[in-house]
């Protein structure tokens, strides 16, 4: 079993379609024995989510709760082929962690080349640390280019628990995850597991992700979830701070 002491992708009430508070999520993380929890609300272009001012005031939030270290971040929407995201650079610079993802309705699916270019350009952004759920079948991508891009730009690729759940919004994501993970092994590119929890009971739930990693005999040293120090050094290297 791969050591896993963090959840890098969670939402609270502020996202508009999630149902728990920061402290409820932190308590759930503590209950599962996690050391670190990233709170990553949807950025403003997602219907019903919070506005830029929410992200600009995160300094008021204590970075510890229930013995769990909190990273206050964001899940950005990639908006176009240039990898434009929906927070200004000055705001992004203040985030502890930023995921960038392709979402309906913020990004209209294009060709494989178009989707891939959008992801590569987002990963190039020094303030984007993680490419969220690249396994979405509605957005086909060239995984070899994505994995090589992640390596070149020092970004992490996410293995998203929600994508693997039956009844989730990304149907049949597993074949894409298998392809991505095999390429990560080939190119020695690290991944990070995130629950994408929208309610406290899902925080830290990574069962299907772990089962898949085990199935593929994915090496533990390529799973960032094993060490908070490792994650923080990757964030620092990426953003130069
Ligand atoms: Zn959501
Ligand atoms: Zn997402």
Reported as a single tens digit per residue, the pLDDT across 75-95 is 999 999 999 999 999 999 999
For residue 108, report the distance from its CA to the centre of ligand 2, in Å: 15
Rounded to whole angstroms, how far apart are CA atoms 193 and 116? 21
134: exposed, middle or buried (C-beta count within 10 Å: 0-12, 13-18, 19+)?
Answer: buried
- How high is the pLDDT of residue 113? 98
- How high is the pLDDT of residue 122? 98
Q: Is the pLDDT confidence value at 231 over 80?
A: yes
CB 176, CB 146: distance < 8 Å: no
- How high is the pLDDT of residue 5? 98
Rounded to whole angstroms, how far apart are CA atoms 180 and 194? 15
Domain count, the chain: 1
Close Cβ partners of 179 (under 8 Å, ≥ 6 residues apart): 143
For residue 66, report the distance from its CA to the centre of ligand 1, in Å: 24
Rounded to whole angstroms, how far apart are CA atoms 231 and 238? 11
Rounded to whole angstroms, how far apart are CA atoms 184 and 167? 27
Q: 1 in a domain, yes or no?
A: no
Q: 58 in a domain, yes or no?
A: yes
**In the chain, pLDDT over 90 holds for what percent of residues?**
98
Q: Which of 84, 67, 65, 85 is nearest to 75 (CA)?
A: 85
Q: Is the pLDDT confidence value at 241 over 80?
A: no
Average pLDDT, the chain: 97
For residue 97, report the distance from its CA to the centre of ligand 1, in Å: 17
Q: Which of 4, 80, 72, 65 is nearest to 39 (CA)?
A: 72
Q: Which ligand is nearest to the CA of 103?
A: 2
For residue 149, report the distance from its CA to the centre of ligand 1, in Å: 25
Whats the size of the chain, residue-wise?
Answer: 241
Threshold 0.95, pTM exceeds: yes
For residue 58, report the distance from its CA to the centre of ligand 1, in Å: 19
Q: Which ligand is nearest to the CA of 17?
A: 1
User: DSSP secondary structure string, 168-185?
Assistant: SSSTT-HHHHHHHHHHHH
Q: Is the pLDDT confidence value at 61 over 80?
A: yes
Q: Is the pLDDT confidence value at 176 over 90?
A: yes
**Dmax over Cα atoms in the chain, in whole Å?**
45
For residue 117, report the distance from its CA to the centre of ligand 2, in Å: 18
Q: Is the pLDDT confidence value at 178 over 90?
A: yes
Q: In terms of residue numbers, what domain contains 104?
A: 6-239
- How high is the pLDDT of residue 59? 97
**In the chain, pLDDT over 70 holds for what percent of residues?**
100
For residue 165, report the distance from its CA to the centre of ligand 1, in Å: 14
End-to-end CA distance of the chain: 33
Q: Is the pLDDT confidence value at 169 over 90?
A: no
Alpha carbon distances (Å) from 118 to 121, 147, 196: 5, 14, 21
For residue 17, report the distance from its CA to the centre of ligand 1, in Å: 6
Q: Which ligand is nearest to the CA of 106?
A: 2
Reported as a single tens digit per residue, the pLDDT across 6-21 is 999 999 999 999 999 9
Q: 219 in a domain, yes or no?
A: yes
For residue 198, report the distance from its CA to the centre of ligand 1, in Å: 7
Q: 167 in a domain, yes or no?
A: yes
- pLDDT-based confidence at 41, cuts 50/70/90? very high
For residue 15, report the distance from its CA to the centre of ligand 1, in Å: 7
For residue 129, report the distance from its CA to the centre of ligand 2, in Å: 14
For residue 214, report the distance from its CA to the centre of ligand 2, in Å: 24
> The domain spanning residue 83 has which CATH number?
3.20.20.140
Q: Is the pLDDT confidence value at 201 over 80?
A: yes
85: exposed, middle or buried (C-beta count within 10 Å: 0-12, 13-18, 19+)?
Answer: buried
SS3 33: coil
Q: Which of 233, 201, 216, 154 is nearest to 29 (CA)?
A: 201
- How high is the pLDDT of residue 240? 85
């Amino acid at each position: 079993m791969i050591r896993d002491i963090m959840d890098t992708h969670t939402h609270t009430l502020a996202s508009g379609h999630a149902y728990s508070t920061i402290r409820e999520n932190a308590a759930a993380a503590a209950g599962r024995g996690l050391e670190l929890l990233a709170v990553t609300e949807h950025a403003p272009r997602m219907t019903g989510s919070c506005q830029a001012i929410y992200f600009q005031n995160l300094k008021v939030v204590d970075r510890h709760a229930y013995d769990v270290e909190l990273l206050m971040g964001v899940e950005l929407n990639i908006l176009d082929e240039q990898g434009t995201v929906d927070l200004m650079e000055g705001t992004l610079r203040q985030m502890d962690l930023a995921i960038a993802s392709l979402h309906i309705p913020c990004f209209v699916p294009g060709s494989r080349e178009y989707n891939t270019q959008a992801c590569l350009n987002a990963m190039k952004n020094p303030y984007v640390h993680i490419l969220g759920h690249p396994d979405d079948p509605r957005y086909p991508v060239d995984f070899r280019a994505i994995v090589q891009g992640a390596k070149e730009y020092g970004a992490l690729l996410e293995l998203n628990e929600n994508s693997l759940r039956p009844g989730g919004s990304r149907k049949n994501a597993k074949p894409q995850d298998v392809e991505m993970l095999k390429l990560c092994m080939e190119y020695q590119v690290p991944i990070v597991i995130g629950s994408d929890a929208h309610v406290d009971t899902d925080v830290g739930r990574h069962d299907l992700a772990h089962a898949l990693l085990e199935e593929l005999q994915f090496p533990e040293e390529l799973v960032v979830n094993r060490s908070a120090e490792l994650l923080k050094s990757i964030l620092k290297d990426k953003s130069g701070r």
